Chains A and B, each alone.
Chain A
Amino acid sequence: MRKRKTNILAGIDWVLVLLFLALITIGWMTIYAATIDDNSQGILDFSTFYGKQIIWIGLSFILILILIAIDSKFYERFAGIFYLISMLSLAGLFIFGNEVNGAKSWYNFGEFSLQPSEFAKTATILALASFLNGANRDLTQLKTQWNTILIMSIPAVLILLQPDAGSAVIYTTLIFVLYREGLPAFYLLIGLAIILLFLATLYFGFTTALIIIYSLISLFFFLLVNFKKIQLKREWFKIIAIYLVIGLMLFSVDYAFNHILEQHQRDRFNIVLGKTIDNRGIGYNTYQSMITIGSGGWTGKGYLEGDRTQGNFVPEQETDYIFSAIGEEWGFIGSSIVIILFVVFILRIIQLSERQKSKFSRIFGYSVATIFFFHFMVNIGMVIGILPTVGIPLPFFSYGGSSLWGFTMLLFIFIRLDADRTYEW
């Protein structure tokens, strides 16, 4: 034990730490640019967003020290308890929660508020890694699959009920981790197929989408019979079933879109699919954000010189739309560098995960990478107008203590696990 502890600092992946420091520094600078105004009293003015963010960052450093000091074994051993506490905290929101923007996602403690869904990610993937690390776990087996889905579904459903669809969707992306750990590709393909069918239905409408997809499948069977010389005579029952299932799926998508989704959610899809153009109403945020980014040009207008950022043209530019400030003030060069930083950061986590000897660490690492990637993709995709508006933060950039600590926990638990990678505990 003693020997291991002395090696902690040596075992830490400083590349990842440096990437983290770079992201969090640029992130804070951007919050400063996005929220400074004429009445600012210096950077330690704690009534401002950037002043408060300094406190959150400071506290996150303390959190980092604690996370690093804790023994790796502890995380796996207590994963179940973390998960339980986390789920209780999510459930408690329905009683004690505070409603912000129509979602009961926050606990209020006087001046400060906490968003438990940000911590539920860590707890869930700890539990997932711990479960899959157990004996006789086999993702090709139905029992393991069911249990895994249950672990992921509980937080997802609780968060969906707040309702905070954006944060709930994150859990479905963990399917990629499961695929890495042996879940048959079939599930992944089904998942992708559902997404494609969903988009096709939205884009073409139910009837047209049905005709197109039936034609494609028919063509597929036709080619199968004629070129591969496969006999389908005995399979007619399955073939009919395929047609029926697809028809049913398209119908459910259509039904879900028109009857289950809220109008604002429908609008968001329609805008990205180009079916609605509305730069003043529902498309205002995205349009403003794109104009702001576009006005940056090659090199941007310079730090604190972004007039659209300074003029608060983009709503929520210190949280979900913070990337627009980077686009304006740092231009194409600067925003590309931030994107590259994120890509390198995520790739590094995957690379480190791959070198883990412990299955627990590997699953955890992959989950961390997946979560970061999902946030990165959905947030920036939204800000640059290629994905629908989903309110999730950009890690280390968006203002907010809960999300910052949530991401810090994910990252530094992994860094801590990675520091012990040589030990097969």
Chain B
Amino acid sequence: MEKKHIAYISISLVGLLFIIRLFYIQIIAEKYQPSPLNNSAVAIKFDYPARGFIYDRNGVLLVANQPSYDVMIIPRDVTPLDTLEFCGLLKITKEQFIKRFEKAKNYSPRIPSVFLAQLSKSNYAYLQEKMHKFKGFYIQKRILREYPLKTAANVLGYIGEVSPAFMEKNPYYKQGELRGITGIENEYEEVLRGVRGVKFMQRNRFNKEIGPYQGGSKDTLATTGKDLTTTLDIELQLYGQKLMSNKRGGIIAIEPATGELLTVLSTPTYDPNELVGRERSKNYAKLKNDIDGKPMFDRGLQAQYPPGSPFKIVNALIGLQEGVVTEDTRFTCYHGYRYGSSPRAFMGCHCVSGTSNDLIRGVYASCNAYFCNVYKRVIEKYPSPVEGIEAWAKHVKSFGFGDYLHNDLYNGTPGTVPDAALYKRMYPNGGWRASTTISNAIGQGEILANPIQLANMTAAVANRGFYYTPHIVKAIDNQPIQIEKYTTPKRTTIDPKYFEPVIEGMFQTVENPGGTAYWSKVPGIEICGKTGTAENFTRVNGEKLQFQDHSVFIAFAPKEDPKIAIAVYIENGGYGSTYAGPIATLMIEKYLNGKTSRPNLEKRMIEASLQNQYDEQLLKTSLAKEKNKHISGN
């Protein structure tokens, strides 16, 4: 080979090598080919779809949208501006301007982010005319929530700006975007939200948009959020809210045949509109700081109370299922029940001493002694208290106690079903047995449940042995939801045949003049209920304070083919028959008949206020705290 040929070949080879390398960089290796999202010459425009509406079961609008205007910023497009004028227009200080600008720049110099959220309409109109003077800023219309009925804040939830931590886990979201933070807004975020559309616009060197980037091939269309139909009967919920005026507690109503939640009420409540708009953070702080009334605490779903006497229903069913009693088994009540040799080992009862109760009377008279006997027999049926309590707890848990409901509600607590493990912790030296845990017989002691669990238990009784997981959404875009866990019945461990005598007892509770809820009887409706008067204590630095009992009532109606199961729990309301019973039966009447027939009772309930009770309690608690501080101070 001649030398000149060596030169020709090596030069050509270098050229070829370069072309191969270019082919690799430009065509093959994607790491060298940036996407439009981080391409500086492409303007990104987001198209936010309207968030889905939320309706009640009868099509009443609960959550709608209202327009809001955000000042957006693209930091790299910002040119020197008259900050004084700009800050004046936005009503912010120069320091705030600098802080917000830096924040936006740190997030991304190119991707638009919210500079100032939610302008008032008048502010917007004024600003819109001046906006052209401020390069890099523009106004974006955004959709905020609106709650026409000002109710059900606890279940509906609210939307708010995404946090940096949230964005990191969910890269879909961009800074300043909104998402459902709590409630249905959170649980059904993706359904309600839809998908935002993105338009990529090619810019020239003067930053002017000159047309769609790559012919619009990378653009995506926005998908509108879907509408939700909840299971709530908002008329019933509002009625309950009215009845619960100035009383703390929760009302849960369920349609037993479906598990649909008709009412999910917690009082005191607040207007959901308070958590929308620029006043949001102020109102939020106000609601959060109300540590006595705790309006943001959902008493219906989160409060874990001793269930009290309604729990006797479960114990009666367990007794029948375990075969330790029949419906005819009788126990004599000696104005109470002695469970030990100590003089203090006595649980009082309101029965006249020497009354002999069978199951039905045991239920409707709410005889403590009866259920202590049943409970003791259940536990002692087994060779050891451990096995006894485990068998008992298994039955209890089959009613949905002691665990989250695993449904589509944002809030929830598991409650407590005491089992062998719990008692082993409480009594490390052993020695516990039926009499030690006798409070379980009457729904006091270690067992804790929230009102929705009580309502669910009531639904299971109404269905004679099964329940559907209570849930809040009925349809998405008018298509009934088909979710297996809501359409599959959950069976309790109790045979259906054992329910009839217990239900008869519940029926007699309202029908029988000797029943604890006789005064709540509604003519024409066969209500099966059970009152409860739950003792409650608060510990303040070791000192046990007892407060007025909680007033509890559970019921379902009609007796045959039940349409509604309800649990009403009123903090410090006293006897179950004082407030909870009347309120529950008024709710049932309202739901089944559309109107109520007891105007006086209704008026009395609405006007009743427990505020004095709560104030007194608060005082006692703070005094105890003060005293304790004093003692420890010495």
A99 at the interface (CB under 8 A from B): no
B286 at the interface (CB under 8 A from A): no
Provided the pairs A180-B3, A350-B7 are in contact, do residues A343 and B26 lie with their beta carbons within 8 angstroms?
no
Provided the pairs A298-B27, A343-B12, A384-B25 are in contact, do residues A308 and B41 lie with their beta carbons within 8 angstroms?
yes
B33 at the interface (CB under 8 A from A): yes
A373 at the interface (CB under 8 A from B): yes
Please name all residues of chain B whose beta carbon is closer than 8 Å to the beta carbon of A380 when the two chains form the complex. 18
Contact assessment for B26 and A332 in the assembled complex, using a CB-CB cutoff below 8 Å: yes
Contact assessment for B22 and A327 in the assembled complex, using a CB-CB cutoff below 8 Å: yes
- Interface size, A (range): 35 or more
B81 at the interface (CB under 8 A from A): no
Question: Which residue of chain A lies nearest to B4 when distances are taken between CB atoms in the complex?
Answer: A354
Please give the distance in Å from A335's CB to the nearest CB on chain B: 5
Please give the distance in Å from B109's CB to the nearest CB on chain A: 11
Partner of B33, one of A38, A295, A313, A342: A295
Question: Which residue of chain A lies nearest to B35 when distances are taken between CB atoms in the complex?
Answer: A295
Question: Which residue of chain A lies nearest to B203 when distances are taken between CB atoms in the complex?
Answer: A307
A291 at the interface (CB under 8 A from B): yes
Please name all residues of chain A whose beta carbon is closer than 8 Å to the beta carbon of B3 when the two chains form the complex. 179-180
Please name all residues of chain A whose beta carbon is closer than 8 Å to the beta carbon of B41 when the two chains form the complex. 301, 305-308, 310-311
A369 to B10, CA, bound (A): 13
Q: Quick one: CB contact mask for B202-213 with A, threshold 8 Å, 1 for yes? A: 111110000000
Provided the pairs A291-B32, A295-B39, A327-B26 are in contact, do residues A373 and B11 lie with their beta carbons within 8 angstroms?
yes
Contact assessment for A384 and B22 in the assembled complex, using a CB-CB cutoff below 8 Å: yes
Contact assessment for B26 and A350 in the assembled complex, using a CB-CB cutoff below 8 Å: no
Contact assessment for B18 and A384 in the assembled complex, using a CB-CB cutoff below 8 Å: yes
Provided the pairs A307-B40, A308-B40, A347-B8 are in contact, do residues A293 and B15 lie with their beta carbons within 8 angstroms?
no
A36 at the interface (CB under 8 A from B): yes
Please give the distance in Å from A106's CB to the nearest CB on chain B: 30
A230 to B234, CA, bound (A): 105
Please name all residues of chain B whose beta carbon is closer than 8 Å to the beta carbon of A347 when the two chains form the complex. 8, 11-12
Contact assessment for A313 and B12 in the assembled complex, using a CB-CB cutoff below 8 Å: no
Q: Which of B7-43 contact A (CB under 8 A)?
A: 7-8, 11-12, 14-15, 17-19, 21-23, 25-27, 29, 31-34, 39-42
Q: Which of A283-298 contact B (CB under 8 A)?
A: 290-291, 293-298
Contact assessment for A295 and B34 in the assembled complex, using a CB-CB cutoff below 8 Å: yes
Provided the pairs A294-B33, A295-B34 are in contact, do residues A350 and B8 lie with their beta carbons within 8 angstroms?
yes
Contact assessment for B32 and A293 in the assembled complex, using a CB-CB cutoff below 8 Å: yes
A37 to B40, CA, bound (A): 15
Contact assessment for B26 and A305 in the assembled complex, using a CB-CB cutoff below 8 Å: no
Q: Quick one: CB contact mask for B41-70 with A, threshold 8 Å, 1 for yes? A: 110000000000000000000000000000
A304 at the interface (CB under 8 A from B): yes
A295 to B33, CA, bound (A): 4
A149 at the interface (CB under 8 A from B): no
A310 to B39, CA, bound (A): 12
A386 to B26, CA, bound (A): 15
A369 to B7, CA, bound (A): 10
A381 at the interface (CB under 8 A from B): yes
Partner of B11, one of A310, A332, A343: A343
Provided the pairs A347-B11, A350-B4, A384-B18 are in contact, do residues A293 and B40 lie with their beta carbons within 8 angstroms?
no
Please give the distance in Å from A342's CB to the nearest CB on chain B: 7
| Chain B interfacial residues counted at CB < 8 A | 31
A384 to B29, CA, bound (A): 13
Please name all residues of chain A whose beta carbon is closer than 8 Å to the beta carbon of B12 when the two chains form the complex. 343, 347
Please give the distance in Å from A279's CB to the nearest CB on chain B: 10
Please give the distance in Å from B91's CB to the nearest CB on chain A: 32
Please name all residues of chain A whose beta carbon is closer than 8 Å to the beta carbon of B4 when the two chains form the complex. 180, 350, 354
A369 to B33, CA, bound (A): 34
- Quick one: which of B11, B31, B202 has the most chain A CB within 10 A? B11
Please name all residues of chain B whose beta carbon is closer than 8 Å to the beta carbon of A313 when the two chains form the complex. 40
Please name all residues of chain A whose beta carbon is closer than 8 Å to the beta carbon of B19 when the two chains form the complex. 336, 339-340
A331 at the interface (CB under 8 A from B): yes
A239 at the interface (CB under 8 A from B): no
Interface of chain B: mostly helix, strand, loop or mixed? helix
- Quick one: which of B8, B23, B205, B206 has the most chain A CB within 10 A? B205
A346 at the interface (CB under 8 A from B): yes
Question: Which residue of chain A lies nearest to B14 when distances are taken between CB atoms in the complex?
Answer: A377
Please name all residues of chain A whose beta carbon is closer than 8 Å to the beta carbon of B15 when the two chains form the complex. 339-340, 342-343
Question: Which residue of chain B lies nearest to A386 when distances are taken between CB atoms in the complex?
Answer: B21
A287 to B34, CA, bound (A): 12
Provided the pairs A37-B205, A291-B34, A346-B11 are in contact, do residues A307 and B39 lie with their beta carbons within 8 angstroms?
yes
Please name all residues of chain B whose beta carbon is closer than 8 Å to the beta carbon of A327 when the two chains form the complex. 22, 25-26
Please give the distance in Å from B175's CB to the nearest CB on chain A: 22
Please name all residues of chain B whose beta carbon is closer than 8 Å to the beta carbon of A384 when the two chains form the complex. 18, 21-22, 25
Interface of chain A: mostly helix, strand, loop or mixed? helix
Contact assessment for B7 and A293 in the assembled complex, using a CB-CB cutoff below 8 Å: no
Please name all residues of chain B whose beta carbon is closer than 8 Å to the beta carbon of A290 when the two chains form the complex. 25, 32
Please give the distance in Å from A35's CB to the nearest CB on chain B: 11
A369 to B3, CA, bound (A): 14
A346 to B3, CA, bound (A): 15
Contact assessment for B205 and A310 in the assembled complex, using a CB-CB cutoff below 8 Å: yes
Question: Which residue of chain A lies nearest to B41 when distances are taken between CB atoms in the complex?
Answer: A307
Q: Quick one: CB contact mask for A375-388 with B, threshold 8 Å, 1 for yes? A: 01100110011100
Contact assessment for B39 and A332 in the assembled complex, using a CB-CB cutoff below 8 Å: no
A218 to B12, CA, bound (A): 35
Contact assessment for B26 and A298 in the assembled complex, using a CB-CB cutoff below 8 Å: yes
Contact assessment for B25 and A294 in the assembled complex, using a CB-CB cutoff below 8 Å: yes
Question: Which residue of chain A lies nearest to B202 when distances are taken between CB atoms in the complex?
Answer: A305
Please name all residues of chain A whose beta carbon is closer than 8 Å to the beta carbon of B27 when the two chains form the complex. 297-298, 332
Q: Quick one: CB contact mask for B104-115 with A, threshold 8 Å, 1 for yes? A: 000000000000
Please name all residues of chain B whose beta carbon is closer than 8 Å to the beta carbon of A311 when the two chains form the complex. 40-41
Please name all residues of chain B whose beta carbon is closer than 8 Å to the beta carbon of A342 when the two chains form the complex. 15
A239 to B21, CA, bound (A): 41
Q: Quick one: CB contact mask for A31-42 with B, threshold 8 Å, 1 for yes? A: 000001110000
Contact assessment for B22 and A293 in the assembled complex, using a CB-CB cutoff below 8 Å: yes
Please name all residues of chain A whose beta carbon is closer than 8 Å to the beta carbon of B31 when the two chains form the complex. 294
Q: Which of A362-419 contact B (CB under 8 A)?
A: 369, 373, 376-377, 380-381, 384-386
A332 to B28, CA, bound (A): 11
Please give the distance in Å from A181's CB to the nearest CB on chain B: 9
- Quick one: which of A293, A306, A343, A373 has the most chain B CB within 10 A? A343
A342 to B33, CA, bound (A): 26
Contact assessment for A381 and B25 in the assembled complex, using a CB-CB cutoff below 8 Å: no
Please give the distance in Å from A67's CB to the nearest CB on chain B: 25
Contact assessment for A293 and B203 in the assembled complex, using a CB-CB cutoff below 8 Å: no
- Quick one: which of A296, A304, A331, A369 has the most chain B CB within 10 A? A296
Please name all residues of chain A whose beta carbon is closer than 8 Å to the beta carbon of B18 when the two chains form the complex. 339, 380-381, 384
Please give the distance in Å from A283's CB to the nearest CB on chain B: 13
Please name all residues of chain A whose beta carbon is closer than 8 Å to the beta carbon of B26 when the two chains form the complex. 293-294, 296-298, 327, 331-332, 335
A340 to B26, CA, bound (A): 17
Q: Quick one: CB contact mask for A166-179 with B, threshold 8 Å, 1 for yes? A: 00000000001001
A265 to B29, CA, bound (A): 27
Can you report 28 residue pairs joining A to B where beta carbons are below 8 Å apart?
A36-B205, A291-B32, A293-B22, A294-B31, A294-B33, A297-B27, A298-B26, A301-B41, A304-B204, A304-B205, A305-B204, A306-B41, A307-B42, A310-B204, A331-B26, A332-B23, A332-B26, A339-B15, A339-B18, A340-B15, A340-B19, A343-B12, A343-B14, A350-B4, A350-B11, A377-B14, A384-B22, A386-B21
- With A327-B26, A373-B11 given, can you name 11 additional A-B contacts, CB distance below 8 Å? A38-B206, A293-B26, A294-B34, A297-B26, A307-B42, A339-B15, A339-B18, A339-B19, A343-B15, A347-B8, A350-B7
A-to-B contact residues, CB < 8 Å: 36-38, 176, 179-180, 290-291, 293-298, 301, 304-308, 310-311, 313, 327, 331-332, 335-336, 339-340, 342-343, 346-347, 350, 354, 369, 373, 376-377, 380-381, 384-386
B-to-A contact residues, CB < 8 Å: 3-4, 7-8, 11-12, 14-15, 17-19, 21-23, 25-27, 29, 31-34, 39-42, 202-206
Ordered nearest first, which 4 A-B pairs have the shortest CB separation?
Answer: A307-B41, A294-B32, A343-B15, A310-B205
